[in-house]
Structure 1
Amino acid sequence: MKTNKFYLLFLLGLALSFGSCSKEDDPQTEPKEEGSVEPPVEEPVAINLDNYNSGQKVMMQAFYWDVEPRFEWWNNLTEKVGGWADAGINRIWLPVATKGQSGGYSMGYDVSDYFDFGEYEQHGTVKTRFGSREELETLISTAHENEVEVIADIVINHNSGGGEEYNPYREEMTYTLFDEEHGNASGMFNRNYEYFYPNSESNYYDNSLFYPETNLDHHRAYVQDWLWKKDNSVAKYYKNVMGFDGWRFDYVKGFEPWVVKEWLNEVGGFAVAELWEGNATVLEDYVEKTGSGAFDFATFYKLDEAFDRHNDLTYLQKDMLWKTYPEKAVTFTANHDTEKDDNDENNISGGNKMKAYAFILTHPGYPTIFYSDYEHPAFQEEIKQLIKIHNSLATGDTEVLYVDEDEYIMKRTGNSENPGLILYISTAKNTKRRTLSSDWKNVTLYDYSDNSTYSPTSDENGTVTLEAPANGYSIWSITK
């Protein structure tokens, strides 16, 4: 019995010895012969967005309210416009470029002399708040050298800074005398009370408008001639002499749509109207009557409601101008008025602003970037990437794949030469994933916003599970 136990122990030790030898032969610890090593798993390779073109770029609103430094703004923009062009900007919208009643402090909306671009001594200054005429001309030429159009802000409703005179049609003194001695040093487009409402040809006036006593009467032939018809009219001088390429019409509620239509019929150019109206139907009616584009305030308000007022992304499905007139809808998330310090209601909060930019830079419409957002150190690189995505992949039909209070998923279908994209926005406190149908079959996807490191692969039917970071967004498309 002792001999048998010893023999059994010997066999057990021998078996353990062979087991130890096979462990050493494991390929994890001992390399195999050359040519037998399994290849490593390859990381997905993003496509080069520079190889794709959505057919549209974006506009920069190149100012904010009360810009600083005073008298140097045109020089500041001249230094920046080349970099903006490289980032994918193809138009810059300038502030009102002529002398206002507030002189060196004026943002131009209190327009006095339509032809003083910073060369006449009046209202206490030669330069406008933004600089001299020569500096403006340098900015415009620099923009054109970089294939960037320059958009003029046009105020043709109210005037300011004229001399006082008696207006018999109002039976009171009004500041409606504009000549070389009274707020119009250029001597071009001199005005008096006959060219404002009411006058000898019109009893109509609306005291609810800005500066109602200096609200120009566009029915008067003299006013039409000086604003758009004459060879040296405001429109033709700005276009042919100064080199402006298009128009942003300020406060169009102050005059009839036919004015814009006639202006554009006379001189053409890109045009966008400031019709501060959240009803998409009203905006649609305006672009139909004028032929002009319009700022898509309907989209702006829906973004505000979805992200800030109601925290409900289903608002992103409601009516917006881009849904019916994408070629006329100029979308935006902020402007000089919404970002004023005293504006607590009509704005999108900083914490939600990048999600709002992700929306307008992936959906149809012509997006506008606000200067202060782009130049903000915390936002600039993210906005640059969104512009790049917009200019490359944001094309094709739009389809909402899923929406609820805290998730919004939208697809741009692309075309035969462009894969398109899928936008996934989430306001949830945790990472979200959702399985949905795509147009991409058997392909690994990549988040081109760089907000997610997840790398899902679609199946043979295009079904794929996508991810959005907590209170953020992702933008998906194919890899190589």
Structure 2
Amino acid sequence: MDSTIDENKMKKESELWWLRRGKFFIRQETMATISLADGAIGILPHHLFISSGVGRPNLFVTPKKYSLTCRKHSYHKRKLLYKSDSLFKSRDAVCCSVGESGEASIDIASDGTVPEVNEDALMAARKALYETQSRQETLEKERDQLLKELATSKVKQQEFLAKVEEENETGRLVLEAERKKASSKNLKVEVEATKGSVESSNEVAPLKDEAYTRRYETLHRAPKAAESASKIWRQRAELAEPVFPKSRLLDERDEDAIVVGGRLALLIDDDSQKSKLLSDGPRREIPDWMARRIGSVRPKFPPRKINISEANTSKFKSLELPNPAEVWSVAQAKPKYGDTLIEHVIEKEFIEKKRKALERALQRKTIQYQKTPEEITLEPGTGTGREIVFQGFNWESCRRRWYLDLAPKAADLSRCGITAVWLPPPTESVAPQGYMPSDLYNLNSAYGTQEELKYCIEEMHNQHLLALGDVVLNHRCAHKQSANGVWNIFGGKLAWGPEAIVCDDPNFQGRGNPSSGDIFHAAPNIDHSQDFVREDVKQWLNWLRNNIGYDGWRLDFVRGFSGGYVKEYIEASNPAFAIGEYWDSLAYEGGNLCYNQDAHRQRVINWINATGGTSSAFDVTTKGILHSALHNQYWRLIDPHGKPTGVMGWWPSRAVTFLENHDTGSTQGHWPFPRDKLMQGYAYILTHPGTVSSSETNVKFCLACWM
């Protein structure tokens, strides 16, 4: 590079380097490489700076090494530029030019000539330098702060990872402890069961030994008894042997002899009495007067004849029996007129024939009752409003083939005015009564088989009766246990798992959503908020309607799930009639029934509202009030607004009144109605709005009041 200073070129393409208090050496050659040691170099673009030689150095450069190529003017002598601590003595001017490639050319003027410097530009450059330095310091501080924060975050991250690892270890230990606890619990249960079986076997073993001992003793005594019996019979035979005449062979002269007697000889011969006494034995000694009377009464049969000549000359004749045609027959005998008994029988037959003729005439002339269109029109799930429901079973009906017993009574129920028959739960159940269902599609229950059920429903339909099925939708019994021993895995066609059970069921570890009603603690509570559960229930109800023949439903324990789901099920299955069992406790004060039962019947009304009015409900409020009202407290039967105090007073078309059912009465007797007040109770509900329901045990009282 040329060492001549070109100011225009320096302004446009290069930067000015001012070396102050710098330590550098120039080699003896024309071209020299300058190595920056501890000098400070400031980067000042497009300006030429001259050191004043006074004051503190104020120009710095970043610690970066540059390789510089320099050339001195030919008229300068080689000399060491560094003199003392400053350059102001020599007043040498160093001009440096740096290109884009990173190489710099330095021109040193030692003749004392100093280029002109613009003070304003110098001040602006210094100001820019100060700003650059302050910015650099700020950036360094920020960098240090970020490094500190990074270190802090790393420490926190390590602490967090350690904490997470500790929590994972704790959770693993807890799970392992719970697993061990569950396994130990199962082991304890198995041990207890084994102990129970061992104890029962220990209890049964003595009984079996005792039974075997008795059987052995009996078998041991049997030969002795047989020997004694044979000995007795042998003695009897020996005693009876001289009684019978010895048999003798007939010779040629006796071939034509006639033997008269046979069994008759036992009656006429004295030896016959001996044989009878030997076989039976006398109870007491016969007195003489009785012996004489017996001898006089005994018929005189002819003695035994030996030959024909004696038989022909005897005054006695052989017995001649009449022909069978001459014997009197009851079937062929003609009645004897004039006999009082015969005349009474003839009169009774005549009256019966006349009664049947009158019945046939009345049937021909009777005008059949025609239902009005209002009576034929059915509302969804609530019928016509004129139904009389008959509960066709009780708590003990499962002990018999109930479907076959109930089917023949359909005609009698229809003639009595019954319009709907409430049948027992049809599904397979853990309890024989049917209220703990397991496999919903298995209809072979304690009441009968599926074919017997269909036959019973067909008989009901032949008599124009509605068949209501008792369906249990709130809960269902599982078929299998889970890995931790909980019965929450279902079988059959609807093979659900724990996800079909509500999560707040305390006994069965469900994985579904919380329950929308009360918990039934005896079986897993079904989560009706699950879509697959509702679809399966709707398909099952439609199968009962279409394949089995049910016309409506009686819904068990509807307090366990929301009435909104009941609305969905009723709209999907479209029953002719539906009743919900919302059994809630009434209000009592001091052991006595409160007069105001509005809160109780409001809860029943709220459930009916939740179903959208598609279902009726049992009027439990009216039943509870009648228990007290019929004991000379008739003021309880009317509320302050002049209406009945039960559900029938607020929504009569959705109230199903009753006095007894399989829970309140029958053999359970949870809440039996007073027996001496049944007639009054049925007289009340039959003369007030609402659908009447009568139990199987009280139907005669209901019909007596209705007729």
Please classify the TM superposition score into its range, dividing by the shorter chain length.
0.5 to 0.7
> Does residue 219 in structure 1 map to residue 529 in structure 2?
yes
CA distance in 1: counterparts of 2:626 and 2:581, whole angstroms: 18
Retained in 1: the 8 A contact 2:512–2:530? Answer: no
Kindly report the root-mean-square deviation, in angstroms, between the aligned alpha carbons of the 2 structures.
2.5
CA distance in 1: counterparts of 2:522 and 2:453, whole angstroms: 31
Retained in 1: the 8 A contact 2:475–2:520? Answer: yes
Partner in structure 1 of residue 616 of structure 2:
293
Selected match of 1:305 from 612, 628, 631 = 628
Retained in 2: the 8 A contact 1:101–1:161? Answer: no
Partner in structure 1 of residue 331 of structure 2:
none
CA distance in 2: counterparts of 1:69 and 1:195, whole angstroms: 32
CA distance in 2: counterparts of 1:146 and 1:369, whole angstroms: 19
Partner in structure 1 of residue 553 of structure 2:
247
Residue by residue over 1:19-78, the C-alpha shift from the partner in whole angstroms, topping out at 9 and shown as x without a partner, is xxxxxxxxxxxxxxxxxxxxxxxxxxxxx9x989996241101111121542x1001110
How many pairs align?
302
Residue type at the aligned position of 2:677:
N
> Secondary structure at 2:486's aligned position in 1?
strand
Partner in structure 2 of residue 387 of structure 1:
706
Partner in structure 2 of residue 451 of structure 1:
none
Partner in structure 1 of residue 480 of structure 2:
163
Runs ≥4 residues deviating over 6 A: 50-54
Partner in structure 1 of residue 423 of structure 2:
94
* Offset at residue 157 of structure 1 (A): 1.0
Residue type at the aligned position of 1:282:
R
> Secondary structure at 1:248's aligned position in 2?
strand
Structure 1 residues 312 and 214, CA, compared in 2 at 3 Å: closer, same or farther?
same
Partner in structure 1 of residue 566 of structure 2:
260
> Does residue 78 in structure 1 map to residue 407 in structure 2?
yes
> Does residue 316 in structure 1 map to residue 645 in structure 2?
no
Selected match of 1:328 from 654, 658, 661 = 654
CA distance in 2: counterparts of 1:327 and 1:208, whole angstroms: 26
Retained in 1: the 8 A contact 2:658–2:694? Answer: yes
> Secondary structure at 2:637's aligned position in 1?
helix
Partner in structure 2 of residue 125 of structure 1:
none
Selected match of 1:60 from 370, 385, 390 = 390
CA distance in 1: counterparts of 2:427 and 2:523, whole angstroms: 21
Partner in structure 2 of residue 34 of structure 1:
none
Q: TM-score, normalised by structure 1?
A: 0.59
> Secondary structure at 1:112's aligned position in 2?
coil
* Offset at residue 227 of structure 1 (A): 0.2
Selected match of 1:276 from 569, 580, 583 = 583
Partner in structure 1 of residue 86 of structure 2:
none
CA distance in 2: counterparts of 1:68 and 1:200, whole angstroms: 31
Greater alpha carbon shift after TM alignment, 53-62 vs 311-320? 53-62
Structure 1 residues 147 and 202, CA, compared in 2 at 3 Å: closer, same or farther?
same
* Offset at residue 239 of structure 1 (A): 0.6
Structure 1 residues 98 and 359, CA, compared in 2 at 3 Å: closer, same or farther?
same
> Does residue 349 in structure 1 map to residue 674 in structure 2?
yes
CA distance in 1: counterparts of 2:438 and 2:398, whole angstroms: 22
* Offset at residue 95 of structure 1 (A): 1.0
Residue by residue over 1:334-368, the C-alpha shift from the partner in whole angstroms, topping out at 9 and shown as x without a partner, is 00000144536x22111001110111111110001
State the identity as a percent. 27
Counting only pairs closer than 5 Å after superposition, residues 191-210 of structure 1 correspond to structure 2 as 191-198=496-503, 202-204=512-514, 209-210=519-520
Going by fraction, where is helix more abundant, 1 or 2?
A: 2
Structure 1 residues 341 and 243, CA, compared in 2 at 3 Å: closer, same or farther?
closer
> Does residue 175 in structure 1 map to residue 487 in structure 2?
yes
Retained in 1: the 8 A contact 2:500–2:512? Answer: no
CA distance in 2: counterparts of 1:205 and 1:273, whole angstroms: 18
Partner in structure 2 of residue 189 of structure 1:
494
Partner in structure 1 of residue 172 of structure 2:
none
Structure 1 unpaired stretches of 5+: 1-47, 119-127, 167-171, 375-379, 389-480
> Secondary structure at 1:150's aligned position in 2?
strand
Structure 1 residues 246 and 342, CA, compared in 2 at 3 Å: closer, same or farther?
closer
Structure 2 unpaired stretches of 5+: 1-365, 376-385, 504-508, 587-599, 640-644
User: Radius of gyration: which is bigger?
Assistant: 2
Residue by residue over 1:287-312, the C-alpha shift from the partner in whole angstroms, topping out at 9 and shown as x without a partner, is 1221210001111111112125xx41
Residue type at the aligned position of 1:298:
T
Residue by residue over 1:252-273, the C-alpha shift from the partner in whole angstroms, topping out at 9 and shown as x without a partner, is 1111111101011112211110
CA distance in 2: counterparts of 1:252 and 1:130, whole angstroms: 24
Retained in 1: the 8 A contact 2:515–2:561? Answer: no
Residue type at the aligned position of 2:547:
V
Retained in 1: the 8 A contact 2:528–2:565? Answer: yes
Partner in structure 2 of residue 146 of structure 1:
463
Residue type at the aligned position of 2:620:
F
Partner in structure 1 of residue 685 of structure 2:
360
Residue type at the aligned position of 2:403:
W
CA distance in 2: counterparts of 1:360 and 1:317, whole angstroms: 14
Retained in 2: the 8 A contact 1:174–1:213? Answer: no
> Secondary structure at 2:568's aligned position in 1?
helix
Structure 1 residues 356 and 138, CA, compared in 2 at 3 Å: closer, same or farther?
same
Structure 1 residues 117 and 213, CA, compared in 2 at 3 Å: closer, same or farther?
closer
* Offset at residue 330 of structure 1 (A): 0.5
Say which structure, 1 or 2, has more relative contact order (CA 8 Å, 6+ apart): 1
Greater alpha carbon shift after TM alignment, 257-266 vs 156-165? 156-165
